[in-house]
Amino acid sequence: MTARLIESLATTEQLAAVFSDTSVLEAMLDFEVALARAEARAGIVPKSAARQIRAAALPGEFDIDKLSRAMFRAGAPGIAVVKALSEKVRARDPEAAGWVHWGATSQDVADTALVLLLKRAQPILAGDLKRLEKALRALSDAHKTTLMLGRTLMQAAPPVTFGLKAAGWLGALARGGKRLESAFKEALVLQFGGASGTLASLGDRGAAVARALAEELGLRCPEAPWHSHRDRLANLVCCCGVLTGSLGKMARDISLLMQTEVGEAAEPGGEGRGGSSTMPHKKNPIACALTLSAAYRVPGLAASFLSAMVEEHERGLGSWQSEWPTVASIVQATGCAASSMAEVAGGLSVDPARMRQNTENTGGLIFAERAMMALAGELGRDVAHKLLEDTIQAGIGKNQDLGAMLAELPGISSRLKRNVLNQLDTPDGYLGSAEAFRKALLKGPISKRGKR
């Protein structure tokens, strides 16, 4: 399904469907059906009642607008759903209606439903990250010798390769993906504790029912209910924050490379993508913009979740009730960023000639460090640094390259061999361990999704 207009820049169609009204209701009903089945297996609920509950739990038969209003009045999603489901079961079998939601509490429904939604979202995120990792690996290999300016504090610095830059993006995203994968594994656990987290209403069979319920839902069964302990979800949203930050860093780099006066790379366009409502010549970095938007929003949302962790006793007041929209927004923003950058990496245009030209346009000034280190053996590093600094400042506006400036200095030509001066601004010879680092990044801690 498509996203709501107000969320159109904040999610993808797949994730909008995961967190849609119908999907949320379905997850809550799945909990109630699985609970009845688990309790029927334990001999607590009649099997006939479990069948009636399952037959009545059809999302399409519920009035979602009416449910939404009832949820607001009740202050808890589970109460309204349980009441509505009970009414539908009662219409089929009055006796069976009494077994709906047996031994559970409303937070059990809400929390487990959220976990089920996260379970549905995980493969979507994993798929986009896998596409992105594959595309970045290909970019890095294709441009392992493509020279470009290094840029520090937004200023020109000694050269790097685009292959190394792409490998750097890949390394950060692979590490983030691995953390997220682990966080999902930890968070996808059942919530089932009853009134106070003891399942006292089920006597000594509470733990057995919990295990059976987790099996029915395909979730792990935790060692104990976690009503007011939100650390697993907190870890997940924080991992989303770190990953989205890494995606934002990649988007920032590419959008800067797309600036007209830089012109070294461009994200793919296409019908309706990247244009302007007033300037026909524009090719805007739209996917980067969507990713940066997510990277701006997620940290604040994660902080909102963390601030709600300080819950009271066995059940929080107003804290866990705040989580549904927060977690849904975080996961959808992360997915939007991952999908957007997978599109960018898969169709990125790179201009090696422009990259080299921009390097040459510095007049060799980016090799001042190279010259300084060559002179440092005889003059000392501090003296060599001061000499280069003064020479460059004095030469500004004379339209000379660094080698020519140094050749005019008395005594310098005797200290720097002519071939050193001639090759001073040759970028290929001043890449250090760039290729070794690139290869190491490509062999780094790649998540299972990106394993070759």
| Tens-digit pLDDT profile for residues 338-348 | 999 999 999 99
Instruction: Mark whether 276 is an active-site residue.
Output: yes
Q: Which of 48, 201, 276, 349 is catalytic?
A: 276
Is 315 among the residues known to form the active site?
A: yes
The span from the CA of 47 to the CA of 50, in Å, is: 5
Burial string for 296-321 (b: 16+ CB within 10 Å, else e) reads ebbbebbebbeebbebeeebbeebbe
pLDDT attached to residue 384? 83
Name the active-site residue from 315, 319, 322, 413. 315
**Tally of CA atoms within 13 A in the half-sphere of 447 that contains its CB:** 26
Distance CA 429, CA 331 (A): 45
Query: Alpha carbon 169 to chain centroid distance?
Result: 13
> Which residue, 213, 195, 191, 190, is CA-closest to 44?
213
Check if the beta carbon of residue 121 is closer than 8 Å to that of residue 24: no
Percent residues over pLDDT 70 in the chain? 92
What is each CA distance from 267 to 138, 164, 165, 430, in whole angstroms? Answer: 15, 18, 16, 29
pLDDT at res. 159: 95
Burial of 231 (0-12, 13-18, 19+ CB in 10 A): exposed
Q: Cα(294)–Cα(275) distance, rounded to whole angstroms?
A: 21
The answer to whether the beta carbons of residues 187 and 157 sit under 8 Å apart is no
Q: Candidates 3.40.50.2300, 1.10.10.10, 3.90.480.20, 1.10.275.10; correct CATH number of 1-104+196-218?
A: 1.10.275.10
Residue 411: the pLDDT is 67
Distance CA 115, CA 438 (A): 38
Q: What is the per-residue pLDDT across 270-294, written as a single tens digit (0 to 9) for each?
A: 665 655 445 445 578 999 999 999 9
- CA–CA distance, 395 with 375 (Å, rounded to integer): 19
- Positions in the chain whose pLDDT score sits under 50: 276-277, 279-280, 446-452
CATH placement of domain 115-189+226-361+431-452: 1.20.200.10
Per-position b or e across 137-171, b if 16+ CB within 10 A of its CB: bebbeebbebbbbbbeeeeeebbbbbbbbbbbbbb
Rg (CA), the chain: 30
